[in-house]
A and B are shown apart, each in its own frame.
Chain A
């Protein structure tokens, strides 16, 4: 894992910052992300690898969904969502600023902790007064769906009025986080390593059903249950509390640290650090699911795997689709009959396109 933002990103950011420009730097990669600049200062960072301000406030339960929607309706169209949130007393001004800054640094961390293949600068869209100016290159191939409804491109620029940091500060903070993570004995890659609770034999071994930590709440209900007593019983580990407990409750072998951060509405950096510590303590491990609940299942045989008699009869009414539609029924009831007359009798039972177009 790199210990700083990729050089290409830093170079582009620094150049644009010196020029005092406004626009968006998009880092293409896994998970990649966007960095917004306004007048040479960073006003926002968004990445699929880190929860945004909205996710942090809503998923954590800090702001209720209904209140958020009301504030959004009232303020978003005028670019005053932040003002509305504070005016309605949903969050304090300082708190909102802190959350916005945290989301910004967190997204930069997620971008830097992953891989960046390419770095594209897109100047801000021309103001309505000069809208007839030709669109610059990078924005032309920008998929509209991505910037519009993807939830990241179009929904969070409102944070520009709240958080605003210098490029040097952003790079410094990102580096500090990456270095701190790399110094842990077993750093977890936030978007890559799938976490599961340690197998039986480890301190957390025998799990008692229904002992999922209360903090994990509804999202932890069906996940790998983790026994509190087991976890600090054997090796004198400190009692798991807060984030530590939540991370343990959600590590089901499918989720990465990034997924857990989204589920909890916490920053991906603190979750990654906590997961790395749990890994070092032997309570978590990287890799496959420890229980069958998280396994991939193929529950029905594919339709073409029906007994040979069925496709043969289906051929009379047009190939794969017909046999696909009548597959399961035919397979179930067709087996005892088995004879050459079985197929035609069953064919009309289900028109192949009944529930489609």
Chain B
């Protein structure tokens, strides 16, 4: 039941915001939990790379003393790859094209991450 809710959440994100092409939820060890990706994107690889990036970014944040990590954004010529931590054990990664409004994405994902965390920890109603 909560698995369907998880899928509905990430699909809903793509439908709400123009410019999101793919999204996936993975554990911090890189194991894929749920994916909403186009056929060209391999969700397993995406999850593994996102986990690696998040780990690096967290360490970088700690070592550089800039406070807790908020998110990781990879800027590409044709869009963005954004990674958010979901609690301590999972992550949300979002791919978007050039039209994606990052400001709006960050606003939208705030509450979404809370809900994903609740779902993953089995706290959802």
Give the interface of A toward B (CB within 8 A): 30-31, 47-52, 54-55, 58-59, 65, 68, 143, 145-146, 149-152, 191, 219, 221-224, 252, 254-256, 258-259, 262-263, 291, 293-294, 296-305, 320-321, 324-325, 328, 350, 352-357
Contact = CB atoms under 8 A, between A and B. Distances in A.
Given A143-B103, A355-B51, A321 B89 contact: yes
Given A303-B120, A324-B120, A222 B40 contact: yes
18 contacts: A31-B18, A48-B19, A51-B98, A55-B98, A143-B103, A146-B101, A151-B98, A222-B39, A252-B39, A256-B18, A262-B98, A297-B7, A297-B35, A298-B3, A298-B33, A302-B3, A302-B119, A356-B88
Contacts of A350: 29
A219 B40 contact: yes
Contacts of B21: 254, 259
A302 B40 contact: no
B104 A357 contact: no
B11 A145 contact: no
A128 B81 CA distance: 35
Contacts of B35: 296-299
B77 interface: yes
Contacts of B85: 356
B98 A303 contact: no
Contacts of B83: none
Contacts of A297: 7, 34-36, 43
Given A294-B39, A324-B120, A352-B89, A299 B34 contact: yes
Nearest to B123: A320
Contacts of A48: 18-19, 99-101
B99 A49 contact: yes
Contacts of A47: 99
**Chain B interface: which size bin?**
35 or more
A300 B78 contact: no
Contact of A65 (B39, B51, B75, B77): B77
Contacts of B28: 355-356
Contacts of A68: 77
Given A52-B98, A259-B21, A254 B103 contact: no
Contacts, number: 153
Nearest to A221: B40
Interface string B24-63: 0001111111111011100100000001000100110010
A293 B121 contact: no
A32 to B, nearest CB: 8
A276 B111 CA distance: 36
B27 A303 contact: yes
B94 interface: no
Interface string B102-125: 111010000000000001111100
B88 A321 contact: yes
A145 B105 CA distance: 11
B10 interface: yes
A300 B31 contact: yes
Given A49-B99, A223-B40, A328-B31, A59 B78 contact: yes
Given A146-B102, A299-B32, A356-B28, A320 B18 contact: no
Smallest CB-CB A-B distances: 4 pairs: A146-B103, A293-B39, A304-B122, A222-B39
Contacts of B73: 149
B91 to A, nearest CB: 10
A224 B38 CA distance: 10
